[in-house]
Amino acid sequence: MNKETVELKPCPFCGGKAEIEVDGMFRWVECKNEHCGASGKVFSFLVDAGNANNIVANNWNIRPIEDALRDRAEKAERELADVQEISEGGEIQKSFDRVEFNRLLEKYDALKGDNNETA
Ligand SMILES: [Zn+2]
């Protein structure tokens, strides 16, 4: 039925597989996890110009919060890598703020955990 091949990101709520549903002129993306049932915006197409599935999929695939978290996690990983590089180099100073290091580490773990759940 769907001539176009489009890629859909997993459901943002449960990580389940999502599929495009079609009912007459209406199209939307729906999570196929029966315990979730999340769905995206319902689009109506009087005529499919050949890009209907792309429009529906692009709407479903927008993830601003996920993208922002990923950026923050990558930044925290870079910061942690810098800290580890300093400490492994034996250049760690007595004045180094251990509390600050632990705070960064907790932040890093939290962001990493968030990313794993949504991946
Ligand atoms: Zn779901």
Residues with CB under 5 A from ligand 1 (ion): 11, 13-14, 16, 31, 33, 36, 38
- How do residues 72-88 score in pLDDT, each as one tens digit? 999 999 999 888 877 77
- Give me the pLDDT at residue 93, please: 54
- Give me the pLDDT at residue 1, please: 46
Question: From the CA of 100, how far away is ligand 1's center (Å)?
Answer: 37
Question: From the CA of 117, how far away is ligand 1's center (Å)?
Answer: 13
Question: From the CA of 30, how far away is ligand 1's center (Å)?
Answer: 8
Question: From the CA of 32, how far away is ligand 1's center (Å)?
Answer: 7
Cα 105 to Cα 56, 67, 111, 112, 119: the distances in Å are 39, 21, 10, 10, 21
Question: From the CA of 70, how far away is ligand 1's center (Å)?
Answer: 20
The CA-based angle 71-76-81, given to 5 degrees, is: 125
Tokens for 39, please give them.
Answer: 């769905």
User: How does the average pLDDT of the chain come out, rounded?
Assistant: 86
Question: From the CA of 110, how far away is ligand 1's center (Å)?
Answer: 22
If you ran DSSP here, which 8-state letter would residue 119 be given?
Answer: -
Q: Which segments of the chain does DSSP mark as H helices, in order? A: 52-61, 64-88, 98-118
- How do residues 20-57 score in pLDDT, each as one tens digit? 999 999 999 999 999 999 999 999 999 888 999 999 99
Tokens for 75, please give them.
Answer: 């930044």
Mention every residue, 6+ apart, whose C-beta is less than 8 A from residue 116: none
pTM of the model: 0.62
